[in-house]
Amino acid sequence: MIDKVDISEKMSLFNEYWSPKIVGELNNSYVKVAKLKGEFIWHSHENEDELFWIVKGTLLIKFRDKDVLLKAGEFLIIPKGVEHLPVAEEEVEVVLIEPKSTLNTGDIISDRTVENPIKI
Contact positions vs a second copy (CB under 8 A): 2-8, 24-27, 29, 31, 48-51, 55, 63, 66, 68, 70, 73-79, 82, 97-99
Q: Please state the closest distance from residue 82 (CB atom) to a second copy, in A.
A: 7
Shortest approach of a second copy to residue 111 CB, angstroms?
28
Using the minimum distance from each CB to a second copy, give the nearer residue, 41 or 60.
60
Please report, as a single letter, which amino acid is at residue 41: I
Q: Which is nearer to a second copy, 28 or 110 (CB)?
A: 28
Q: Is the dihedral of CA 88, 79, 72, 111 positive or negative?
A: negative
Q: 54: helix, coil or strand?
A: strand
Give the residue with the Cβ less far from a second copy, 25 or 89.
Answer: 25
Which amino acid belongs to residue 25?
E
